[in-house]
Amino acid sequence: MSAKTAIRKSELEKAVALIDRLSGKFEITAYKDTYSAALLRLITAKAKGTKTKAPHLKVVHTKSTELNAQLKASLNARQKAS
């Protein structure tokens, strides 16, 4: 079951602009695998019988469900951060 969704030209342009703005040279050394270490700490703590807490996740809500508005907000937020 495949449904076609119409994409407005302005949405496509904003999406491409956002990708271009966020794109850059990938440096693997800038990233550190923290998942494995955190998982090992969790397993060790549980093996010792220590009660563990679930990590706090930050959820970001948008005011709009409109793709065009979300893309525009992303571009504006990225511009302010630069």
Q: Is residue 30 part of a domain?
A: no
Instruction: Please give the residue range of the domain that contains residue 69.
Output: 9-18+60-82
pLDDT of 1 strictly over 60? no
Considering only CA atoms, which of 81, 82, 72, 80 is closest in space to residue 18? Answer: 72
Query: What is the per-residue pLDDT across 50-61, written as a single tens digit (0 to 9) for each?
Result: 988 887 877 667
Is the confidence at residue 44, as pLDDT, over 90? yes
- Domains: count for the chain: 1
Angle at 62 between CA 57 and CA 10, to 5 degrees: 130
Residue at 14 is within a domain: yes
The verdict on residue 35 lying in a domain is no
43 domain-assigned:
no
The reply to whether 72 falls in a domain is yes
> Residue 37 falls within a domain, yes or no?
no
Averaged pLDDT of the chain: 82
C-alpha dihedral (16, 22, 27, 29), degrees to nearest 10: -140
d(CA 19, CA 26): 14
